[in-house]
Amino acid sequence: MNQILTYCNQIPKLWLGLQQYFSRSTEENIETKTVNSAAQIEAYLQADDNQPVSGVTLFLYSDED
């Protein structure tokens, strides 16, 4: 259960990273931004507090406790 809360707490950071990324490069098209956004957000979050983004994905599978 603690894992789930940890992953839920990452979601606001993920959203902030998305907002910053999309507002930063308006001249690129959406497809290019979508392809690059995962790596950009991961770099943003790891620079922020060294926690991997994979928690957001694992959230779907981590209810085994």
Amino acid at 32: T
pLDDT for position 58: 47
pLDDT for position 29: 54
User: Taking the domains of the chain in order of start, what are their residue ranges?
Assistant: 1-62
Overall pTM > 0.85 = no
pLDDT for position 16: 80
Ordered mean pLDDT values, 10 residues apiece, the chain (65 residues): 75 79 60 59 65 50 49
4-13: list long-range contacts, CB under 8 Å, 24+ apart: 4/59, 4/62, 4/63, 6/55, 7/55, 7/56, 7/58, 7/59, 7/62, 8/59, 10/45, 10/51, 10/53, 10/55, 10/56, 11/56, 13/45, 13/48
